[in-house]
Amino acid sequence: MNKKFFALAVIPSLLLASCDLLDVLLTEPTNSPEQNKDDEKKEEQKKDEQNPDALGFYIISAKFIDEIGHLKVNYECNYGSPFNINGHPFSHLNITGVLAKEVDSSNDAYFTFLSPIIQTTLKFEFYDTNENIYISYRFENVEPYNEETVDPAQTITYPEGYDTLYWSDEFNGNSLDTSKWTYDIGNGSNGWGNGESQYYTNHNETVSDGVLTIKGKKEYVESFAYTSTRIKTKDKVKFTYGYVEASIALPTVTGMWPAFWMMPNNSNYGGWPHSGEIDIMEAKGRFPNNSSSAIHFSTDSGEHTYLTKEKSGHNIATFHKYAAEWKEDSISFFIDDVKYFETYKSQWTTVNAPTSETAPFDKDFYIILNLAIGGHFDGYRLPPEGFSETSMQVDYVRVFQK
């Protein structure tokens, strides 16, 4: 049995009037009280054929988490996900007569609505591909919004100009979600091309209390004296353009090289660096108040080059939001919502698409989180004598799109 969450993002219709994602609003007709009673009796008569319990689908709780109608639903689904229960696909979901459009098919499913829903009883109707109601589920006792009791971590703040949460991992489970992430194992070629000193494993990370922790350890594996973990969304979550954000706390130990970055899902313009690299955040553990961002690409003659900028003045040991806004004509970098570095398409190139104005940053990229040890980034420095372990922590990773 899998316990999961989905957040129902309720956005006023004026804000989404031009959104291609949602252009249909379904509402139930207004009936007389007598007609409503008749309809409820009919619903009861259909209960056996539309019984969600028989399919292992249960709603445990529902709670509004802000004043504009964002709703968090905790459910159990034994046989799949809300949009594919027991192998039965659904075309769409109505919640109290309002169309809910799925914008993330992962375990933490997110839905967006055209108009606010502020009610204490909700009706979930799953329509099959023939537009027939396959499951009708009524849930009562929806918790109203209470500013004093809502955990701020449950709310999602959308960057200015973005209305869709394309994907996220809130790390709400008790282990890494391998439907979203996969591991890099070992030391790669020449320390993953960077002279790194650690051996990446699939067990140096934990997920607990809504936080991913990646540990770097003094530990011998193969011929390497250190271990750590590197995870990526390659072939699982890939996208072109958007606002990519993570809340991360970093280690302040010499020799640590934590990173939050992106690589091309397919090398459309050739091997590195010709297809590009976007480094949203990198840090050197011996500098507790500094981090940097960069993009890598190739010159017209095929040589590696990059643009980078360092930001100081923030304690990297505490959680900060690191983000990149990737658009067709620019890539900008933010710390705690403040832009500090911007690059433009006129500045980047790739040898294998010399006439393109946007290459190589115009194809799908995927996300990487890792904690390297040693390597060229900080002059191959290693942890001090007596080092045993340290960690980087990630509260969430989110990708927004327009």
CA dist., res. 375 & res. 194, Å (int): 5
The one catalytic residue in 67, 277, 310, 385 is 277
Contact yes or no for 359/269 (Cβ under 8 A): yes
> Is 205 marked active-site?
no
Which contiguous run of DSSP H or E holds residue 38? helix 33-45
Q: Which of 231, 249, 219, 258 is nearest to 177 (CA)?
A: 231
DSSP structure class, residue 46: T
- Cβ burial, residue 131 (10 Å; 0-12/13-18/19+): exposed
Set 170, 245, 282, 325: catalytic member: 282
Judge whether 147 counts as a catalytic residue: no
Does residue 281 contact residue 248 with C-beta atoms inside 8 Å? Answer: yes
Amino acid, single-letter form, for residue 146: N
Return the ∠ at Cα 232 (arms to 228 and 237), rounded to 5°. Answer: 160
DSSP labels, 169-229: E---SSS--TTT-EEE-B-TTTIIIIIB-EEE-SSSEEEETTEEEEEEEEEEETTEEEEE-
Active site positions, annotated: 277, 282
